[in-house]
Amino acid sequence: MAGKDRILVLGPTGAIGRHIVWASVKAGNPTYVLVRDTPSTVNKPRLVTAANPETRDELLQNFQNAGVFLIQGDMNDHQSLVNAIKQVDVVICSFGRLLIEDQVKIIAAIKEAGNIKRFFPSEFGLDVDRHDAVEPVREVFEEKAKIRRVIEAEGVPYTYLCCHAFTGYFLRNLAQIDITVPPRDKIYIQGDGNVKGAYVTEADVGTYTVEAVNDPNTLNKAVHIRLPANYLTLNEIVSLWEKKIGKSLEKIYVPEEKVLKDIQELSFPNNYLLALYHSQQIRGDAVYEIDPTRDVEASEAYPHVKYTTVDEYLNQFV
C-alpha cells in the first residue's frame, strides 16, 4: 500500500458509500470510515433496500474484518470531524439528499485540518451544472451545485463524480414505479424512449471513484461515467430484456405532460424517482459534450476497468 493515499469515506453504509469503501480496499488504499454512535433513520425507497440488502451493522463488521479503520465521530461535531480528516489524504462524501447542504461543515473542517489533497463532495448522479430536472429533484441538484461553488470559493482541491443512473435505481425495474424487478408483461416508457441514458452499477461507481482518487489528472475536474456499452435508450434496453425472456412487452409511451402531472401528484419516494427518470429519459440530461479543460470521461481515462454491462446486469433477473 506504499504510496497510496489514505481515503476517508463519509456515509460509508449508504447505497453508494459501501461500494466506494470496498473499491478503496480492493485498490490497496488505506481506508477509513466515519461512524456515528447512532445511525440516521431515513426512510429509504424499496429499490435501495432491494439493491443493498446488507444491514449497517453487518457492513461495519465486514469493513472491520477487511482492515478498514473505523473512526467514531459525527459531522455535527466539528472537532471529531477535524480529527478524522487529519488522519487521511482524501475525503469522499456519499451523504444522501437530506444532508447535501450540511457538507459546508465538512468543507470548514477540511480547511481547518489543512492536509487534504482532494475532496469528493456527494454528487454521484447527473452533472448538476448540466441539467433540466424538475422538482423535487431540481432542488437537490441546485443544493449540490451550491456546494460546488463553496468548494471552489474556498480553494479546496476537488473532484466531482458524475455517474448518472445507478442500475439499482434505474435498471433493476426498467424505470417502473413500485416494482423492484424488470416487468414481464407491459412497460411504461417516458417520452418516445429514444433518448440516451447512462447506466452504471454502484460497484463500478466505487471502482471509478477510486481510480479518480489515484489519478492526478482529475484534480479540480469532473469525472463523467458514460460507458459505451451502457449508453443506451430505454427502447434499446427493453429490446435487450425482451430477447432474454423470449417475449415482447406491451409498450405504453407516456407523454411528457402526463409524466409531469404524475410527478406533481405522487408522494415521496415515487415522485422523486419519476423526476429522476424524467430528467434522463425525456430531458436528456446525460447527453452533452465533454469539455477537456474541466471534464474527464471515465471510460477513456480508465480503459482497463472491466465494468458490468447493461446486458450482463439484466441476466440476474431472467
C-alpha to C-alpha distance for 299 and 303, rounded to whole angstroms = 5
Q: How far is Cα 237 from Cα 18, in angstroms, rounded to an integer?
A: 27
Residue 306: CB partners within 8 Å, gap ≥ 6? Answer: none
Classify strands 197-200 and 118-120 as parallel, antiparallel or unpaired: unpaired
Out of 44, 105, 117, 144, the active site residue is 144
Cα–Cα distances in Å, from 30 out to 7, 21, 265?
6, 10, 47
What are 295's strand-pairing partners? Answer: 222
* Catalytic site includes residue 247: no
Whole-angstrom distance, CA of residue 193 vs CA of residue 176: 13
Report CA-CA distances (Å) from 39 to 14, 57, 276.
Answer: 11, 10, 26
DSSP codes, 39-79: -------HHHHHH----HHHHHHHHHHTTPEEEE--TT-HH
Cell of 206: 466505487
Q: All 3 cell numbers of residue 22?
A: 470496498
The position carrying cell 478524522 is 84
Gap between the Cα atoms of 309 and 231, Å rounded:
10
Supply the residues annotated as catalytic.
144
